[in-house]
């Protein structure tokens, strides 16, 4: 298959590389010449604009962009994809954006004969490199089936979540819970240690008891509990606080539109926001435990 790929950042770069590895022909665009050069080195063809990707004889186009502003610009802009793409070309947006924007862009694409799926991912940069991402996909079943071979080259779990926008709904609901659970684990670990418990023993109890969750077991925020967690290397690598903040912002904004209360989601957003303001936006989000502890 010939696939167009736009947005070759921390996630998109390795994802496009996996499409090449699977034997697809890939045309790429990114405003960063360096990001394009790396993919060309790996066998991709360079394009100079979104329009050039749309005008190449592609069967499908995948986008992996920072936020809704760029997604709207790339698809709906004057010289964007929709203005130039042939009818029938399958469009897949894997960026994490709000469900309303995803539905709006997909509706405009469908109106001109281009099926479009929202297919945000979880699994981080490690999953992108290893080709083991989870794709949460919203859109028509027939289009989901058509996207199968493309998504399978980049991911392991590919789940149809329902109609257009529902991939984004699944993504932001999961990440809101993750943001909340990390704060909960941080609070409990800090309390236990302040009251005299050994952090490793406490984590062991939690992880064999009812408080167990991903944030306690796989990414425990207390330094030294897990050798390979970001907490044990100064909170470097991992999932940045500012990325968590972005996803909590999407969740609370979507909740506002739906008039749905997200009491803990909003509180977690404010915690990460003040933590980011203190200059910690680049640290793994588990570093939020610093709000509860005196610096050693
Ligand atoms: P990134 O900032 O590393 O990459 C974004 C890329 O998009 C950059 O290379 C940038 O030059 C490019 N870009 C910007 N404007 C563009 C345009 N108009 N046309 C084409 N390319 C353009 O971001 P990332 O970490 O790769 O994340 C991409 C998306 O994936 C985001 O929506 C993010 O929330 C989501 N996501 C990230 C992670 C993660 O761990 N990094 C995990 C899951 C989901």
Q: Are residues 145 and 248 in the same domain?
A: no
CA of 283 to the centre of ligand 1 (A): 18
Of 106, 140, 163, the last residue of a domain is: 163
Nearest-CA residue for ligand 1 atom 1 is 9
Structural domain contains residue 13: yes
What is the extent of the structural domain holding 126? 2-163
Q: Are residues 145 and 188 in the same domain?
A: no
Predicted confidence (pLDDT) per residue in 173-188, tens digit:
999 999 999 999 999 9
Atom of ligand 1 nearest to the CA of 13: 26
- Strands 45-46 and 25-29 come out as parallel
In this structure, the residues whose C-beta lies within 6 A of any atom of ligand 1 are 6-12, 29-32, 35, 64-67, 70, 73-74, 95-96, 121-122, 124-125, 239, 243, 246
Q: Are residues 186 and 112 in the same domain?
A: no
Residue 171 annotated to the active site: yes
User: Where residue 50 sits, what CATH number does that domain have?
Assistant: 3.40.50.720
Of 163, 196, 222, the last residue of a domain is: 163
> Is 184:190 a contact under the CB 8 Å cutoff?
no
Structural domain contains residue 296: no
| Measured distance CA(188)–CA(225) in Å, rounded | 14
Of 147, 163, 179, the last residue of a domain is: 163
Q: What is the number of structural domains in the chain?
A: 2
Secondary structure of the chain in the HEC alphabet?
CEEEEECCCCCHHHHHHHHHHCCCEEEEECCCHHHHHHHHHCCCEECCCHHHHHHCCCCEEEECCCCHHHHHHHHHCCCCHHHHCCCCCEEEECCCCCHHHHHHHHHHHHHCCCCEEECCEECHHHHHHHCCEEEEEECCHHHHHHHHHHHHCCEEEEEEEECCCHHHHHHHHHHHHHHHHHHHHHHHHHHHHHCCCCHHHHHHHHHCCCCCCHHHHCCCCCCCCCCCCHHHHCCCCCCEHHHHHHHHHHHHHHHHHHCCCCHHHHHHHHHHHHHHHHHHCCCEHHHHHHHHCCCC
Structural domain contains residue 49: yes
The pair phi, psi for residue 73, each rounded to 5°, is -65, -45
Q: Are residues 148 and 223 in the same domain?
A: no
Predicted confidence (pLDDT) per residue in 104-162, tens digit:
999 999 999 999 999 999 998 889 999 999 999 999 999 999 999 999 999 999 999 99
* Predicted local distance difference test score (pLDDT) of residue 294: 83
Structural domain contains residue 45: yes
Q: Are residues 134 and 179 in the same domain?
A: no
Structural domain contains residue 25: yes
Structural domain contains residue 155: yes
Nearest-CA residue for ligand 1 atom 22 is 7
CA of 238 to the centre of ligand 1 (A): 15
Q: Are residues 258 and 186 in the same domain?
A: yes
User: Where residue 271 sits, what CATH number does that domain have?
Assistant: 1.10.1040.10
CA of 3 to the centre of ligand 1 (A): 18
* Predicted local distance difference test score (pLDDT) of residue 166: 98
CA of 278 to the centre of ligand 1 (A): 24
Taking the CB of residue 260, how many other CB atoms lie within 10 A of it? 11
CA of 271 to the centre of ligand 1 (A): 24
* Predicted local distance difference test score (pLDDT) of residue 281: 97
Which residues of the chain fall below pLDDT 50?
Answer: none
Q: Are residues 115 and 190 in the same domain?
A: no
| Measured distance CA(29)–CA(7) in Å, rounded | 7
Q: Are residues 155 and 22 in the same domain?
A: yes
The active-site residue out of 171, 246, 290, 294 is 171
- Strands 133-138 and 121-122 come out as antiparallel
Q: Are residues 93 and 187 in the same domain?
A: no
Q: Are residues 106 and 51 in the same domain?
A: yes
CA of 203 to the centre of ligand 1 (A): 34
Atom of ligand 1 nearest to the CA of 240: 40
Nearest-CA residue for ligand 1 atom 4 is 9
Taking the CB of residue 2, how many other CB atoms lie within 10 A of it? 13
* Predicted local distance difference test score (pLDDT) of residue 296: 58
* Predicted local distance difference test score (pLDDT) of residue 224: 97
Q: Are residues 120 and 266 in the same domain?
A: no
Structural domain contains residue 237: yes
First to last CA, the chain: 55
Nearest-CA residue for ligand 1 atom 36 is 96
Structural domain contains residue 77: yes
Ligand 1 probe mutation, 16, 29, 30, most atoms within 8 A of CB:
30
Q: Are residues 85 and 178 in the same domain?
A: no
């Amino acid at each position: 298959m010939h696939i167009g790929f736009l947005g070759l950042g921390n996630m998109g770069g390795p994802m496009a590389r996996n499409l090449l590895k699977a034997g697809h022909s890939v045309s790429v665009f990114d405003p960063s010449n360096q990001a394009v050069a790396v993919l060309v080195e790996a066998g991709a063809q360079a394009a100079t604009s979104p329009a050039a990707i749309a005008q190449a004889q592609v069967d499908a186009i995948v986008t992996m962009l920072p936020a809704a502003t760029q997604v709207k610009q790339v698809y709906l802009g004057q010289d964007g994809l929709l203005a130039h793409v042939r009818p029938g070309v399958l469009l897949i947006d894997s960026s994490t954006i709000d469900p309303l924007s995803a539905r709006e862009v997909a509706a405009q694409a469908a109106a001109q004969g281009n099926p479009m799926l929202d297919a945000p991912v979880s699994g981080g940069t490690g999953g992108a490199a290893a080709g083991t991402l989870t794709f949460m996909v919203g859109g028509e079943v027939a289009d989901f089936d058509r996207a199968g071979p493309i998504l399978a080259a980049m991911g392991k779990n590919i789940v149809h979540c329902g109609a257009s926008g529902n991939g984004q709904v699944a993504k932001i609901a999961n990440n809101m819970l993750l943001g909340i659970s990390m704060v909960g684990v941080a609070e409990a670990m800090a309390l236990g240690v302040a009251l005299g418990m050994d952090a490793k023993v406490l984590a062991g109890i939690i992880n064999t008891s009812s408080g167990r969750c991903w944030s306690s077991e796989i990414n425990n925020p207390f330094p030294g509990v897990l050798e390979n967690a970001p907490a044990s290397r100064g909170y470097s690598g991992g999932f940045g606080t500012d990325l968590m903040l972005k996803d909590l912002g999407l969740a609370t904004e979507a909740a506002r539109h739906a008039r749905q209360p997200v009491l803990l989601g909003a509180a977690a957003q404010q915690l990460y926001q003040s933590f980011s303001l203190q200059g910690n936006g680049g640290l793994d989000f588990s570093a939020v435990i610093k709000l509860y502890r005196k610096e050693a």
